[in-house]
Amino acid sequence: MVTSVIIRVSEARVRPERFEAFREMIVSAVRGFPGRYPGLVDHEVLLAPPDSLLYVSRWRSEEDLADYAGEHWRDQPVVLPGEEEYLLGPLLVRHFTSAPWSE
Cα–Cα distance, 27 to 38 (Å, whole number): 18
**Domain-located, residue 21:** yes
* 51: CATH: 3.30.70.100
Asked whether residue 2 carries a pLDDT value surpassing 80, the answer given is no
The answer to whether residue 102 is domain-embedded is no
- Residues 10-42 have pLDDT tens digits of 999 999 999 999 999 999 999 999 999 999 999
Flag whether 1 is in a domain: no
Give the whole-angstrom CA distance, residue 65 versus residue 59. 6
Among 70, 52, 65, residue whose Cα is nearest residue 96 = 65
Residue 103 lies in a domain: no
Mean pLDDT of 56-74: 96
Return the pLDDT at 100.
Answer: 79
Q: What percentage of the chain reaches a pLDDT higher than 70? A: 96
Residue 4, number of CB atoms within 10 A of its CB:
11
How many structural domains does the chain have? 1
Flag whether 79 is in a domain: yes
User: Stretch 55-66: mean pLDDT, rounded?
Assistant: 96
